[in-house]
Amino acid sequence: MLNPLNFLNRLFVKRLPAYVERGVSAVPGGRRLLNFLKSVTHYVMRSKNPLLQLFYLALVLGGYAIFLVRLLPHVPGNGILGPIHAYTSHMAVAFIMYTFYKASVVGPGNAFDVKHANCYAYDGFLYVHRDCRTCHKRKPARSKHCALCQTCVPRFDHHCPWINQCVGEDNYRWFLLFIGWNALFLTYASYVLGAILLWITVEQKLWSMQYTHRPSGKIVSASWQIVFQYMMAGFGLEMCLLVLCAVMAVVMYGFLGYHLHLIFENTTTNESEKWGGVEDYYRWLKNNPKEESSIKRESEVIRPDFPKALEDRKDEEFPETMPTNAYELGSYYKNLMEVIYPRSTTHAEAAATAAQPEKTKRKKKSAKKTR
C-alpha cells in the first residue's frame, strides 16, 4: 500500500542513489570513483561480513569508555542526576549488548523446515505456488530467497548488515527489541550526557564568569554561545558524543516507527516495497484503461521498478481492482502477537501437544505387553 513511509523508503533506497550516480558519472574521473565506491558498498552492504557489527560495537563500547573515564566521576554529587544513574548506566549498556547478541545470533529460520510449512496460506497474488529458482523447492508463502545468506527465509523482511544476517520469522521479535532498545538507550544516554555536561558548567561556575573577547580585548559576560565554545574546547569529545546520541535517537525512532507501521498492517519490508510498486501500477492502469492487455511491455517503460516477483505473471492473474493484504488479522494486537509469538513456534507447540496423548498411549501399551 502506498504511504509516506514507502515513498521515503523508495526515494532514499532507489531514486536518490540513481540521481547521485548520474551526477558523479558526469564529473571527470567520476566513473572511476563511482566504481570504487560501488565495490566498497557491495562488500559492506551486499556481502556477508562483520564490518558493520564491529563498527557498531566500536561506537557503543567506545562511547561507554569515554563515559567511564571522563564523565562517570561527575555523577556522584551531581545536582541534576541522582546517584542511581551511576548504576543504571551500566545496566543500560549491558542490556543493549544483550539485545545486539540475540539479534545477531538467533537466525531467521529456514523456510523449508517442517515447522515453517503451511504457516501462511498463499494469497494468490503476491504469493502463489512456485518453486524457488535457486533452491528448486516449493517456496512457502511470505518467504524469499536471500542471495547473501544462500537460503530461503520464512516471512522474509530484509537482510540487515548491522546484524550480518536476514530478519525473518524466527528473529524478527529480537530485531524489533534491538532497534527499540537502541532508541530508548540513545534517549537515556542523551539525557545523562546532557545532565552531566550541564552540571560541569555549574560546578566550574561558567555562567557567572567573565570572558575576554580576543579580537577586541573587551570583557564580556557569559552567554550560551560563549559557554558552548568553552565546553567544546575543554570537553569536545563528550559534546560530540552527546550530539551523536541525540541525532541517532531521532533516526532510530523513525526506523522503529516504520517497523511498527509494518506490524500494524501485518506486512514486511519486502512486501511493503512490492505493494508500493503494485499500487503504482494500478494507479497507472486506472489512468490508461485501454492499455490493460499490455502489462509487461508497459511496465518496463512506465514502471521500471515494478516488483520482480510479479513481472512473470500472466495478465489474467491480475484482478481488475487492487487486492488487499490477506495477512492482516484485523487488529494491531493480533498482528503484534504474531511477531512476538511466531506462527512457526505456536504451530510446533500445538503439534507437540497433540502428539503427547499418542505417546502416552504407546507407553501404556508397551507397559501392558511387558507385564
Pick from 221, 241, 265: which residue ends a domain? 265
Same domain, 33 and 164: no
Q: What is the three-class DSSP state of 2?
A: coil
Domain around 9: 1-47
Same domain, 254 and 174: yes
Q: What backbone torsions phi and psi does residue 212 show, to the nearest 5 degrees?
A: -100, 125
Count of beta carbons in the 10 Å neighbourhood of residue 326: 15
Please check whether residue 241 lies inside any domain of the structure: yes
For residues 13 and 115, what is the distance between their CA atoms, to the nearest angstrom? 33
For residues 165 and 146, what is the distance between their CA atoms, to the nearest angstrom? 10
Please check whether residue 117 lies inside any domain of the structure: no
Same domain, 214 and 90: yes
For residues 143 and 154, what is the distance between their CA atoms, to the nearest angstrom? 4
Same domain, 178 and 240: yes
Instruction: Let me know the angle formed at the C-alpha of 20 by 19 and 22, rounded to the nearest 5 degrees.
Output: 65
pTM of the model as a whole: 0.79
Instruction: Let me know the angle formed at the C-alpha of 223 by 219 and 227, rounded to the nearest 5 degrees.
Output: 95
**Average per-residue pLDDT for the chain:** 84
For residues 307 and 309, what is the distance between their CA atoms, to the nearest angstrom? 5
pLDDT at 5 (0 to 100): 60
Please check whether residue 28 lies inside any domain of the structure: yes
Q: Which of 187, 197, 189, 251 is nearest to 64 (CA)?
A: 189
Same domain, 254 and 185: yes
Q: What backbone torsions phi and psi does residue 26 show, to the nearest 5 degrees?
A: -75, -15
Same domain, 57 and 39: no
pLDDT at 293 (0 to 100): 46
Please check whether residue 366 lies inside any domain of the structure: no
pLDDT at 366 (0 to 100): 63
Number of domains in the chain: 2
Band of pLDDT at residue 173, cut at 50, 70 and 90: very high
For residues 253 and 257, what is the distance between their CA atoms, to the nearest angstrom? 6
Q: Which of 57, 151, 47 is nearest to 103 (CA)?
A: 57
Please check whether residue 256 lies inside any domain of the structure: yes
Same domain, 214 and 231: yes
Same domain, 32 and 53: no
For the segment 339-348, the average pLDDT, to the nearest whole number, is: 83
Least confident of 25-34, 50-59, 91-100, 343-352: 343-352
By annotation, the residues acting in catalysis are 160
For residues 191 and 245, what is the distance between their CA atoms, to the nearest angstrom? 9
Q: Which of 181, 182, 184, 192 is nearest to 84 (CA)?
A: 192
